[in-house]
Structures are given as structure tokens and as C-alpha cells.
Chain A
Amino acid sequence: MNNNTNLTNLKVGEKGIIIEIKGSKGLLQRLYSLGIIPGLSFIVENVSYGPVVIKISGTKVAIGRGVVSKIMVKTTNE
């Protein structure tokens, strides 16, 4: 079963693991420094018209739409 998807498609309260981030080296580094690293699990805390808030590595991070669409995730809901 393939449940890989784009972070945009997740709803509030859903959990997942980051699979892959498509983006420039600079963007990857910026995401890394906020604790957003492939392989880590997260929970979606807020979905607005604009950015999405996830909690990952113990940090709440707001991520704008443009970046969210570059993050591929796997949902891990029970």
C-alpha cells in the first residue's frame, strides 16, 4: 500500500514521516536547521489558508504554502 503524499494533503491532527524534500540546497539546509529532516515524524497542528504548522523535533514550525508542496510525506495514522 502506497500512502506517500504531499504535506499539503494532510489535515490537522494527522501524523506522518517526512520522506523527501524537493528543493534547492539552500532550502534543504534551512529546513534542516529547523529540525525538518527526512526520516523524522511530525504532527500537523494547524492548517490555514496560508501556511501549515507542524510540530517536529519538539519545535512548532510554520511553513508557507510554497514550501509545503515540496515536502513529501508518509502518513502514519493508526
Chain B
Amino acid sequence: MNKCHNNTLSNQNHSDKQLRIALVGSPNVGKSTIFNSICGLSQHVGNWPGKTVEKKEGTTRCENRIVKIVDLPGIYALSANSAEEQITRNYIVKEKPDLVINIVDASNLERNLLLTTELLELTPKVIVVLNMIDIANTEGYEIDVEKLEQRLGVKVIPLVATKKGVMEVLSNHIISAVTALNNNPSQVDYQDLESTITLIIRKMGNHPPYPPRFAAVKAMEEDEFVIKHLKEEKVDLPEGYSERIKQLRHSFIHNLISDITIKRRESQSITDKIDRVVLSPVWGVPILLATLFSIFYLTFTISSIFQKPIEMFFSASGSFIKLLLSPWPSWISSLIVDGIIAGIGGVMTFLPLMTIFFVLFSLLEDSGYLPRVAFILDRFMSLIGLQGKAFFSVLMGYGCNIAGIMATRILEREEDRVLSLLINPIIPCSARLGVITLISSAFFGQKAALVVTSLIVLDLLLMGIVGFIFKNIFFKKGSPYFLMELPLYHVPHLKTIFLFSFDRIKTFIYRAGTIIVFLSVIVWILSSFPTNTPFAETYLGRIGGIFMPVTRLMGFNQELTTSLLTGIVAKESVISTLAVLYGTGEETLMNVLLSKISPLTAFVYLIVTMLYVPCVATIATIYRETGSYRWTVLAISYNLVLATSLGTAIYQIGKLLGFG
């Protein structure tokens, strides 16, 4: 952070000092699009200290000054009601950014200005960006920007964030807004309550870390943080004004809007037309199912185009390096090729699958359809004690469980978050789906698609059952409530989609990739020593042997058992491990497998692969997100119990029926 104190004089004299700007706005107003346009790839994503809320920072240049931009969480108000709102208001009063850019959806002023008016009570250093001005126009609204500027008392800049050159439009205004010293924004007129506000301000004396008027208004809204502070100051607490304050604020905005906008024509918006079909009781579910099916279908067909060349590239470069290293002892080339390169290759072959899935997912998200999915599925999700929004994390889990678990952050209630986080590992991620498809197509030929589909359905059922049981054991208290804005549909913004997908992939490579490559080397060491021994005698073989008494019940041999062990490192590595253990290449592995194990064993192996222990990176994420060993251990153990009992049952019954 900058060491300069926020002293206006030094501010003026050091024009080369870097600027700090915060973006504030509600969800779905194009805040991320603006942030991405300004910062591009020069952004850093982390967490707010002590909170599971994403912190995005980036840098850019503006008239030769370095500008640090913080994208504050999307919020609707400045109460102390959620972590996101607390972070925003504390950041503004404690970090004192040079400028707050409030992004407002021009097509939805009535709700957006609620936040703006609260913000103007908190800090005068605000400029308002009127985004999506084009949509407002097509909806038939004409906004008098100059008049809005006068009424709010701050600079208002109309903008279309999806067009190029956002920063070009903003940069002039940023500099002049930062150097302007006496910004004097208008305040909401609370009419008959003004005298009470004045009274509270006078009595406050040593007021909370907020500006007096903001604190007084919040006290009347029964804001717990302000109230706690006032109690320490022994100020009489006003009661019963909360609703009235909110109503007065709203009517202030309502009057303001009718003053500055002209509704040219009544038009039925495109969004309403689409929703009439997409949310209809008849078409809603079929359209949803078709959409989800297309996502999976496209993911698999498109990624399979890339998968083969990548595999070939890595096996070719492996052989080439082996050749290069032939003068050296064989263990060195084996370590590099079979350990490191195989590890990297394993990660890379699943990247296309994951990338395409996330691109399609963000297409869905950016278009505005995803909230509708939550709406349609709320009822189904409530059967397992969750609400519609929890479905996002489920869907995301099919890409990567780490991303799925991170996606549970949007759930407001801690109980809902932990519950949906716990069931996420059951969802087969793209790596597991890849393994399952590969083995199914080898063993079940024409029926492979049917086998994979039935496995996924079985999986969803299990997720439902586990969710239901956990809900009734651990989270009996309260039930989730579903409350969600359905934003306007719009044509997805390519840059936003690209950056979103890039972000998830980066998280995967950073969180999982590094662990996977590191552990691949460990696996190689364990499977290579002691040297010149049959596989069963190597360290890895011996460790695998320990589990044989259990896995034998499921019909597994030592090779299959051991591959599951390395699968904990990364699910896709079960394939490469099997190839190493059977001493073949990955291309011929399936033929070898066909001759070594029965279709029943293969089927049980698929189920177990899908369900058993989450991968190391997922386990680490569960721990980081819950901060609890208890939940982490539960997540590991219930998956293990589920996989073992189901695997054993299916194998034993299958054998009785003569499938063995």
C-alpha cells in the first residue's frame, strides 16, 4: 500500500503519485466488464483478509500516472448485512481511495441509485458511470445526464462498457475528479427525520469511523456496527425508523428519476419476451435440459479434437528427450520423461475439456440465462435442502471441483455454503469424466454413452441423498431462502468471457497443476524403487498392497488399486499410472485392460473412480474455504465410505448374477 498520507496538499504537489481507485456497483451492472476493459490481464485475484470474498486488483496508466484499481464486491446497499457490504464500506473509509467510481445500470436507475445515494453519504469523492446507456435507450428511456449530474452533485459519465475505449472515455474525468477538491454531492432529504438525524450527530461526539451523517442515518436504520459504537458512547438509540428511512430514500430517488428521464414509448423489452418462453411452466425445463445437454455435448466433441494432438505431442517429446538423454543413466531420463513430462502432459490433456466447459459456462452466465436456471431449479434444489443458486456450484463442479467449491461463495447463509461445498466432490469433474469416457468406450463400445449417462444420473441421485442426509444431520436449523435478481439478457461480451475462463483455468493450473506435477514425481520415485524389482515389490506396489484386502472385495487387482492411490493426486493420472503399471503406452493400455479385467470389474472401477476420495487440490480447497478440519475429514470419509460400499455391493451382486 501507499505510504503517503491522504493529505490533500501532498496530493496536489505529487502529481506523479499513484492513484488508487475503487469500483463500486451492484451485481449485473457491468462492473467486471469495466474492470476487465481497464485492467485486462494485469489483474490479481486474491481474498479479502479473513474473508472468503474475492478481491480483484489491477493496474493501468492514466495520463502518466500509475492507477491502482480495486474492484470492490458487487453489492446492492451499504448496510452491515453481508461480508461484501462491510468490506466495501470499510475499504472506503479506512483505505480512503482517491476516487470511487460508482457504476450504475442506466436501464435500472431506480434500484441502482439506492446504492449511489448511500455512497454519497459515505464519501464525496465519487463519480458515477452510467453504464448500458444503449440498453436504456432501446427500452425507451431518455436520460438527461446533465440534469442528473446537477441533482447528484457529482460527475456523471454515460458509457457503453462493452464498446472499446472505456479508459479513453474515463481518463480525463478521473484526473479532473481527483484534483477537484470541493466536491459537494447532494444528500437525500429525509424530511421530518432530519431533526432526529441532527440530534444524533450532535450527541455522537466521538463518532464511529464513518462520516457523521452516514453514521446517524445508519443508526436509524438499526445498523449493528454503528449501534454497537453508539452504545459505547452511551447515546440513546433511536428505534423504529428503519423502514421510514428506506422509504424516504426511495421516494427521493423516485422523484429524482421522474425529473431526469423521459419515457418515450411503452415497449415490451426483449428480456420480457424471452422470459415469457424460457420461464414458462411448459418450456422452462425442456429448454434448460437442452441447454445443459448442449454444454456437455459441445465440451466433449470440441475438446476431443484437441486431446489427441496434445497427447501425441507429449509422447513424442517424451521419446525425443529419452533419445537426447540416452548417454545418461536411464533413471534420469525416466524421472524426466515418466515423472515430470508425464505429469505435465496429464494436466495438459484435460485443459481443452476444462477450457471449453468454462467458456460455455461463462457464455451462459454473461448472457443472463444462469439466474433463470437457478429460478427453474430452486424447487429441485430445495428437495435436498438447498436453494436454486447452489446449482451454480454443482454445474461448475463438472468443470473442476475447485471452481465448484469456490462458487459456493455466492450463497448467503453459511449453512447452505458448507452443505453445497460438502456435496461438490461427488460431482465428477472434467478429469473424471474424461477417465470414465475413455474406459467406458473401451469396454462397452456402442453402449458407452449409455453407461456414462447412467453413471452421471446415479451420481446426481447420490448427491441428492447425501445432501438430504447431511441437511438433516448437520444443518437442521433454518431453511435457505431464495432471492435473486433476474437481470436483462444481453449479448455476451467476448473479453469478459475470455477473462473469466482464463481466470478459472489459471486457478486450476496454479492450485492443482503445481501439486499434480510435484506429486507425479513422488509417484514416479515410489514406483521406481527399489530398482530391478517386479512392480508388486516397489514402494508404490507395497502401499497398494495394504489396501488389497478391501479392494479385492470390489474385484480390483493390485494395479487397479494402486492407480486409485495416484488418482488422489490427480484423477486423470489413474490412466497414466495404469499404463506404467501394465508397462504399456497409453495408446495400447485399453487393449491390455480388456484382456486383464472383466467388464464387471471395469464398471465397478468406474463407479469407484467417480466417487472415492477427492483429489488433493480439492481437499486443500475444502479446508481453505471452511477453515475446519472437521468438514474436511467428513468430505473425505463420506466419499470413501460411499465408493467402497457401493463398489463392493455392485461387484458382489454382479458376480452372483453371473456377470463376473
Chain A residues with a Cβ under 8 A of chain B: 25-35, 37-40, 45-46, 48-51, 53, 57-67
Contact = CB atoms under 8 A, between A and B. Distances in A.
Interface stretch (B476-484, B537-545, B617-625, B641-649): B476-484
B233 interface: no
Which of A40, A58, A64, A65 lies at the interface centre, i.e. has the most chain B CB atoms within 10 A of its CB?
A64
Contacts of A51: 375, 378-379, 388, 482
B55 interface: no
Contact of A63 (B243, B374, B412, B482): B482
A4 B555 CA distance: 66
Contacts of B250: 35, 37, 39-40, 57
A58 B110 contact: yes
B275 A57 contact: no
Contact of B243 (A38, A49, A67): A38
A66 B388 CA distance: 13
Contacts of B284: 48
B388 A29 contact: no
Interface of B: 75-77, 79, 81, 107-111, 114, 222, 242-243, 246-247, 250, 271-272, 275, 279, 281, 284, 371, 374-376, 378-379, 382, 387-388, 412, 479-487
Contacts of A35: 110-111, 114, 250
A42 B387 CA distance: 24
B77 A32 contact: yes
Contacts of A58: 107-111
B375 A62 contact: yes
A63 B483 CA distance: 5
Nearest to B224: A25
A37 B110 CA distance: 12
A30 B412 contact: yes
B378 A53 contact: no
Contacts of B109: 58
A65 B412 CA distance: 17
B279 A53 contact: yes
Contact of B79 (A27, A29, A62, A64): A29
Contacts of A40: 250
A39 B479 CA distance: 27
Contacts of B279: 46, 48, 53
B481 A61 contact: no
Nearest to A39: B247
Given A35-B114, A51-B378, A66-B480, 8 more contacts: A27-B481, A30-B483, A33-B76, A34-B485, A38-B243, A60-B486, A60-B487, A67-B482
A26 B80 CA distance: 9
A50 B378 contact: yes
A51 B311 CA distance: 47
Nearest to B250: A37
A64 B388 contact: yes
Contacts of A26: 81
A39 B313 CA distance: 66
B110 to A, nearest CB: 4
A67 B483 contact: yes
A32 B246 contact: yes
Nearest to A46: B279
A37 B247 contact: yes
- Closest 3 interchain pairs by CB? A64-B482, A33-B76, A50-B379
Contacts of A31: 483
A50 B388 CA distance: 10
A60 to B, nearest CB: 4
Which of A30, A45, A61 lies at the interface centre, i.e. has the most chain B CB atoms within 10 A of its CB?
A30
B247 A59 contact: no
Contacts of A46: 275, 279
A50 B110 contact: no
A2 B376 CA distance: 34
A31 B81 CA distance: 11
Contacts of B481: 27, 64, 66-67
16 contacts: A26-B81, A33-B76, A34-B485, A35-B114, A38-B247, A48-B281, A48-B375, A49-B281, A51-B375, A53-B275, A58-B111, A61-B485, A62-B485, A64-B388, A64-B480, A67-B483
B89 to A, nearest CB: 13
Given A34-B485, A64-B483, A57 B375 contact: no
A45 B111 CA distance: 18
B382 A59 contact: no
Contact of B81 (A30, A57, A66): A30
